[in-house]
Structure 1
Amino acid sequence: MPETSGSLPLEIKGLRKTFKRGKGRVEALRGVSFALEHGSVNALLGPDGAGKTTLIRLATGIMAPDEGSVTVLGMDSIGRAQDIQSAIGYMPQRFGLYEDLTVQENLNLYADLQGVGRQERGERYESLMEMTNLAPFTKRLAGRLSGGMKQKLGLACSLLKTPRFLLLDEPTVGVDPLSRRELWSIVDALVRKDDITVLVSTAYLDEAARCDRVFILQDGELIGQGAPDTFVDKARGRAWRVTPETTPRVVQSRLFGKHGIADATLESGWVRVVTRDEDMPESLFREAGAEDPQAVEPIFEDGFMLLLNRDTQADAPALKVARVHGSGDGAAISVTGLERRFGDFYAVKGLTFSVKRGEIFGLLGPNGAGKSTTFRMLCGLLPATGGTLKVGGLNLRRAAAKARKNLGYMAQKFSLYGQLSVLENLNFFSKVYGLSGSHREERVQWALNELDLADQAETTSGELPFGFRQRLSLACALMHEPDILFLDEPTSGVDPLARRQFWARINSLAEQGVTVVVTTHFMEEAEYCDRMLIMMAGELLAQGTPDEIRRYAGTDGDATIEKAFIALVEEHRARQKEG
């Protein structure tokens, strides 16, 4: 049966959904109601565990509501779930590409599953491959694509039938800024050309700001909806930019979560502050080491954070380490001429840099740049095929096992035991790191208290929201009190509030002498780094402090690390084409 003519793309009324979690139950959605207009692009926002993915799955007919109704293109989600799934496009958080099939074979498979006729495929394939810039890679195995290319292939597979309604659940998680921009250009082009309605869940507030309407969930309730500008207006007169007297990330951590402050973040060397009211807290700025406060035009992110923190304080949860870590001018990590070959292919070539003790150092680059390979070599998980690599004063070629004892590693993907509880994971990893007796018990209790995991101690870790999984992963990486902490895209897919709280913890570790090496695709997070490098195709493009990196984007006040990143990558690509 076809969808009802003239009906709304999505209409939700009184939606409720409850799940079992551990020994209790969690209300994922509590009486949510809203509707989408034809041909609109809509953002679904909210902190981890707010109910975003649950709502999207209910809208696809994959799950049934406990109460209320979901109507998609005029079809009821309970009675006509199969018809809905045939009529819409859906890209889940981790789109199910078959990595041992080529790009073309994945397209063919999904065309078969979606009932796309043979005659329709040729023109549709050509259009999608041109739009995604995947045409040169149709014979490449999906497993050998970069993260950004995989996301674009997943989007292409979900668009094979030109749906009237497209649902995207975190489509840009783990994707670099250039790939994000390319994905959004595809969405924009399709909406304008084919009049497709889009509902996209995202953790990137700049993506939400470009949408027609946003819908904000918190604790399963719809707490805000409207055009992005309506949220910007609510922050008018409350946005400030202050000049830090000391390291910007230190001043930001002093301000974030304080009474009267809804948000504090880093912006091109300044600290951007959003106050809960229009009175400027000059004394608080002075106490934090900030001077010269200037009123600035608000952005969508300011209004979002005001709304999210309307009833609660977003405390900055500093971590207290149990022992003093080494500091001084010596290098915690020293890399010279680092290389890694896979056959004739150089994943990393001639990389040279160093990281000081107690420093936060960033590894940046587009998907496929060689960051993960470099990271694995730094952690002693992958041997180098050339150059020298010293971590904690030890040569990893000769003493990798010894060096690893003093390293903490937080993987990009949740890599703990999902079937074990939070407490069981902490106990297991403390034993793996050789802790025993009262010392092990002390460290487990430290983790539960310092990372606010005590209330979740008996919860199975696989059932935790992203933010709690992240805290648990960090806790396990810190059980043995390492001097050097490696964080591989630690905030990928995590909401803005949880990201700020995470960085407050990381900043406090660095202040106590822990050396931190981090990869991230959130360019605003690169502002927290003392120094960073940007690499592409395994080679170094630039390195330096945030101020030095921003100069690659120009010297005006609008220069950002993201603009510098894009300028460097595009310049490198242009040189490759000329060569």
Structure 2
Amino acid sequence: MPLVLAKNLCKNFGDIKAISNLNLQIQKGKITGLVGPDGAGKTTLIRMMTGLLDLDEGELEILGFSLPKDAVKIQEEIGYMPQKFGLYEDLSVLENLKLYSNLQSIEKSKQKQRIEELLEFINLKDFKSFLARDLSGGMKQKLGLACALIKKPKLLLLDEPGVGVDPISRKELWSIVNQLINDGVTVIWSTAYLDEAALCDEVILLNEGDILFNGIPLDLSNTMKGKVFKIVGKLENKRETLRLALKNENIKDGVILGNSIKVICEDEKLLPSLESINAQNCKYEKMEPNFEDGFMNILKGNFNGESLLAKQISELETNGEENLIEAIDLTKKFGSFTATDKVNFKIQKGEIFGFLGPNGAGKSTTFKMLCGLITPTSGSAKVLGMNLEKSSYKARKKIGYMSQKFSLYADISVFENLKFFAGVYGLKGKKRKEKIENMIKIFELEKYRKTAAKNLPLGYKQRLSLSCAVMHDPVVLFLDEPTSGIDPQTRREFWNHIYAMVQKGMTIMVTTHFMDEAEYCDRIALIYKGKAIALDTPHNLINQIGENATMEEAFIELIKREDNV
């Protein structure tokens, strides 16, 4: 008997169909991945399974109980970790666990032992006195998972637990969840990371409330056999080659992979000539497809390499400056804690500079100093040759900044946010009106024009944040985890815009936890415990570990070497 059984399930929000006539079965003792683009219905489906949302039509059975009538019985038997960090930030790790054990009616005599077991299990024993708000992103997710497990559930529902979490912490989360499977817990894991989806026992791919695929991840990957190719050799301009390749009608998708380019084409005979895409000193090689290739194909992702955002940006002037961003012995201390420790780097005009590191490494602190939002304890930050402490207003007029946390005005509409930021950046009259309408069109925000920003799906929140950050055509753009939690299609769109803006002369510094995105950058700085421990091209960093290593393996190994592990 399946643990989850849905028949003709429907859920609408006004005119929007969130779940449409859905039928599925989820079996016991497996990790089932729930994937799909933003707004596909993943969170809605999970919340319906918990009994927090009522169904409009159809039937839904969980653990043999029917919803909505048996909601209380179901909630006693399941664990649920929501997408947003839902714990109490002003309580310590231990206090949060005690609170949840009381809420789950765990006997006082058994509470202490269960909490100690969980602290050991999630490796937070040494942090039990820390306030939840002071934990790194990975630690917060582990604490959220522990609270969901306080009363050992039969079914565990995880809504994007890996969002904003570095690769090391995500590996730890997977290790924890795999142990739960061995203990007889069934897991439903909603994710935006397709490498995570590929690790699941089975996957349900949703789009606009419908199931497009339900099965073993490898089966979806194998639909792309013989359709994935790599351009290798002496690429003079990777971004220009990718742009030209994507303009060819036979190329359905393509991304930069370090020193090579991956392209998707239905038939080897239809590949464009290398001369036509400015890759004359290169060759095509066949590649094994991955889950993302199958995912993009089934969603009919088809990119032409053009960016409407970059089209409406004029060629950017930098007053002859070569190094547009510079950190000189940049240091920030909070009391006795050193968040950033004598960090040095220079970023040249037209460069995409990646800033990687585990949660709590000091990335966001460094970003904020470079943007003039935090004053360094010592050292200096320069943008466009200007010291931000002395010339911050002048510099900020030419800077765009998209913060890690959604930082727009949550209670006002999409249109009102755009209008406000246009005003802040000094856009007036006809130019302001045109710019706002351009952003709404480019980022497909029309259907959400009057929606309060807090009610947007995560991917659309990120679109709105990016549109506000580039409203004034900045010369330098800081992007702090711009694609965290958004689906691969929207990530492709974002990077399409990033590539094209750099071609117009923009300089971009970006942090990311997606290791494939790190390979899109010209150079990478790896920051750990406040220090820059590596600085080089993605290709060279990978080669330090091994010729066939991945970026994720390089990331983990360089940190291990720093710790002498």
TM bracket, shorter-chain basis: over 0.9
How far off its partner does 1:431 sit? 0.8
Cross-structure match for 1:495: 487
CA contact (8 A) 1:268 1:559 kept: no
Letter of the 1:271 counterpart: I
Matches within 5 A, 1:567-578: 567-574=557-564
Give the residue type in structure 1 aligned to 2:172: E
Give the residue type in structure 1 aligned to 2:285.
Q
Deviation of 1:295 (Å): 1.4
Q: Is the 8 A contact 2:253 2:302 kept in 1?
A: no
Distance in structure 2 (CA, Å) of the matches to 1:108 and 1:249 = 53
1:540 aligns with 2:529: no
Q: Which runs of 5+ in 1 are unaligned?
A: 1-6
| Residue number among 282, 297, 316 corresponding to 2:271 in the alignment | 282
Select the residue among 90, 114, 127 that pairs with 1:100: 90
Q: TM-score, with normalisation over the residues of structure 2?
A: 0.95
Instruction: Please say if residues 249 and 528 of structure 1, whose CA atoms lie closer than 8 Å, have aligned partners that are also in contact.
Output: no
Of the three residues 511, 515, 518, the one matched with 2:510 is 518
CA contact (8 A) 1:317 1:501 kept: no
Q: What SS does structure 1 have at the residue aligned with 2:272? A: helix
Deviations 1:98-117 (A, max 9, x none): 11111111110111111122
1:140-151 alignment, distance < 5 Å: 140-151=130-141
Q: CA deviation at 1:315?
A: 4.5
Q: How many residues align?
A: 559
Alignment of 1:375-524 (within 5 A): 375-524=367-516
2:2 is matched with: 8
Deviation of residue 549 (structure 1)? 1.7
Cα deviation for residue 81 of structure 1 reads 1.0
Aligned-partner Cα distance in 2 for 1:253–1:120: 61
Instruction: Kindly provide the CA deviation profile for residues 210-252 of structure 1, in whole angstroms up to 9, marking residues without a partner as x.
Output: 1110000011111111011211221111111112623334433
Partner of 1:295 in structure 2? 286
* Distance in 1, Cα, partners of 2:52 & 2:437: 40
After TM superposition, the structure 1 stretch with the greater mean CA deviation from structure 2, 283-292 or 496-505, is 283-292
The alignment status of 1:186 with 2:176, answered yes or no, reads yes
Q: Name the SS of the counterpart of 2:535 in structure 1.
A: strand
Structure 1 residue 337, shift from structure 2 partner: 0.5
1:323 to 2:314 alignment: yes
Give the conservation status (yes or no) of the 8 Å contact 2:243–2:306: no
Match of 1:205 among 170, 194, 199: 194
- 2:127 matched to 1:137? yes
Shift of 1:122: 3.3
How far apart are residue 317 of structure 1 and its match? 4.5
Matched ranges for 1:163-178 at <5 A? 163-178=153-168
Shift of residue 120 of structure 1?
2.6
CA distance in 1 between partners of 2:323 and 2:399 (Å):
15
CA distance in 2, matches of 1:455, 1:102: 41
Q: In structure 2, the residue corresponding to 1:574 is in which secondary structure?
A: coil
Q: Structure 2 regions of 5+ residues with no counterpart? A: none
Tell me if 1:125 matches 2:115.
yes
**Structure 2 vs 1, CA of residues 253 and 412 (structure 1 numbering), >3 Å: closer, same or farther?**
farther
- Distance in 2, Cα, partners of 1:426 & 1:306: 33
Q: State the Cα deviation string for residues 375-408 of structure 1 (Å, max 9, x = none).
A: 1101100000101211111111212222111111
Shift of 1:329: 6.5
Aligned partner (choices 286, 302, 308) of residue 299 of structure 2: 308
On the 8 A contact 1:487/1:518 being kept in 2, the answer is yes
Work out whether 1:110 is the aligned partner of 2:100: yes
1:87 is matched with 77
Sort the Cα spacing of 1:428 and 1:153 in 2 relative to 1 into closer, same or farther, 3 A.
Answer: same
Give the aligned partner of residue 208 of structure 2: 219
- Counterpart CA distance in 1 for 2:107 and 2:274 is 64
The AA in structure 1 aligned to 2:10 is R
Q: Distance in 2 between matches of 1:183 and 1:251?
A: 38
Q: Distance in 2 between matches of 1:366 and 1:479?
A: 30
1:3 alignment counterpart: none
What is the SS of the residue equivalent to 2:297? helix
Residue 32 (structure 1) aligned with residue 22 (structure 2): yes
Cα–Cα, structure 1 residues 253 and 68, in superposed 2: closer, same or farther, change >3 Å? farther
What letter corresponds to residue 225 of structure 1 in structure 2?
N
Structure 1 match to 2:35: 45
Shift of 1:258: 5.1
Check conservation: 1:363, 1:517, Cα contact below 8 A: yes
Q: Distance in 1 between matches of 2:334 and 2:423?
A: 35
What's the % identity of the aligned pairs?
A: 45
Q: CA deviation at 1:565?
A: 0.8
Write the distance in 1 (CA, Å) between the matches of 2:563 and 2:426.
47
Supply the distance in 2 between the matched residues of 1:241 and 1:536 (Cα, whole angstroms).
Answer: 32
How far apart are the structure 2 equivalents of 1:421 and 1:317? 28
CA distance in 2, matches of 1:67, 1:289: 55
TM-score, normalising length from structure 1?
0.93
Aligned partners of 1:17 and 1:355: how far apart in 2? 49
For residue 120 of structure 1, give the secondary structure of its aligned residue in structure 2. helix
| Distance in 1 (alpha carbons) for counterparts of 2:324 and 2:492 | 26
